Amino acid sequence: MQLSKSRRIRSTPYSRRVDQAGAKAFTVYNHMLLPTLFESLEADYWHLCEHVQVWDVSVERQVELRGPDAARLAQLMTPRDLSKIDLLQGKYAPICNADGFILNDPIVIKLAEDRFWISIADSDVKFFAAGLAQGYGLDVEVFEPDVFPLAVQGPKAEELTARIFGESVRSTGFFRGEMLEFRGSKFYVARSGWSKQGGFEIYLDNPGLAEPLWDALFEAGEDLHVRAGCPHGVERLEAGLLSYGNDMDEFDTPFECGLDSYLNLNAEIESLSLPALRDKANNRRRKLVGLAFSQALDLAANTNQVGGIDIIENGRCIGEIRSQTWSYRFQKQLAFAMLPIDYIEQNSGIKIDGQHSDFHPIPFDTSQL
């Protein structure tokens, strides 16, 4: 299968380098190309866990809020308390609608008192933000700036990032960042990234420097075995990082997805979703749980119309597997499944295709795998 390119599916300023590096497959995320495979799923996996990779994550689009009401709008959009966020700090902050359902799970970054970036997962947050700004009569601009994040991920990521941006990155805390210089331009560089191997994200806002930055990382990282990579479906499942659109969507609440710790139900803040979420906190019906099977499962036949996998018991669909993969590290089939809380409480585990799994927390307690 090939992807037909058109103006609706945007390429990135790194796309030429990504092609030259041998990207074999892509997906579309925020209307933009995201590579998903280079050498092989397994070779890409072990390389990420042992060395350092450069990822074109331009698809992590920024929704910029700028103006006197920027902070108020950011707070309206999320039930997480943003009142104490520091300058150049990021916070993982679910975006929820007035009924308490999840519209996105971005990182919110404060660049100035009147300027925020919402570094979004795959859904059109810009329109939601613009609608709220209009409806509430806010004095704020909402737009998608040309920012193209490049992630440096893996155990040697700190070394490589320090070689390009200087030693200060070594003391940068998680979801903290600095404005750092490359060839006369300053970029926000933060310790973050969609892997648990550690690393940084460089928010490049000068497309003319995209290839020079890519090339500089590859030159400086030769002895570190730097390679092109991409967010990895196996590594992220092992790590318990959720994928919006796969593991959760606009029909799920943050409670169902285990995001309770990113909500501040008792905060005195102006947040659109908080009233509904306070109600829902005491009325929980489903939960996303981890499953682990000792043998590979082939569940393609149970794929449903939205791409999930139905869990059928006694001829009845009782739940859905949202993501699943074979784990190279744990030699197990891992899955995230949405199941009724009643079922989880009444059963010690679940049997699928003849194989048993306990119910695991997300992220997995890896000593239990």
Segment near ligand THG (CB under 6 A); pick from 95-103, 135-143, 186-194, 317-325: 186-194
Contact 61, 71 (CB under 8 A): no
Q: Report the relative pairing of strands 53-56 and 227-229 from DSSP bridges.
A: parallel
With contacts defined by CB under 6 A, name the span among 117-125, 126-134, 158-166, 351-359 that binds ligand THG. 117-125
Report the SS3 class of residue 70: helix
Does 194 help bind ligand THG (rule: CB under 6 A)? yes
Q: Is 60 in the site for ligand THG (CB under 6 A)?
A: yes
Cβ(231)–Cβ(55) under 8 Å? Answer: yes
What is the SS3 assignment for 165?
helix
Give the residue with the Cβ less far from ligand THG, 189 or 297.
189
Minimum distance, C-beta of residue 246 to ligand THG, in the bound complex (Å): 11
Task: For residue 32, state whether it binds ligand THG (rule: CB under 6 A).
Answer: no
Reading the block at residue 278, the tokens are 């306070």
**Residues linked to residue 339 through DSSP beta bridges, in sequence order:** 287
> Chain centroid to CA 216: how far?
26
Compute the least distance from the CB of residue 271 to ligand THG, in Å. 18
Q: x/- site string to ligand THG, residues 203 to 242, per CB under 6 A? A: --------------------------------------xx
Applying CB under 6 A, the span of 13-21, 38-46, 187-195, 293-301 interacting with ligand THG comes to 187-195
Give the other-Cβ count within 10 Å of 357's Cβ: 21
Site string for ligand THG, 166-185 (x = CB under 6 A): ---------x----------
Q: Where are the alpha helices (DSSP H) in the chain?
A: 15-20, 41-50, 70-77, 125-135, 157-165, 210-220, 233-239, 274-280, 341-346
Beta bridge partners of 91: 108
**Which residues in the 68-107 window bind ligand THG by CB under 6 A?**
92, 105-107
**Phi/psi of residue 338, each to 5°?**
-95, 120
**All residues at 6 or more sequence positions from 244 whose CB lies less than 8 Å from its CB, including other chains:** 102, 104, 105, 121, 122, 123
The distance of closest approach from Cβ of residue 106 to ligand THG in the complex, given in angstroms and rounded to an integer, is 5
Stretch that binds ligand THG, among 18-26, 67-75, 118-126, 350-358 (CB under 6 A): 118-126
Binding ligand THG by CB under 6 A: which of 193, 229, 258, 319? 193
Report in angstroms how near the CB of residue 90 gets to ligand THG at its nearest: 7
Residues that bind ligand THG (CB under 6 A): 60, 92, 105-107, 119-121, 149, 175, 192-194, 201, 241-242
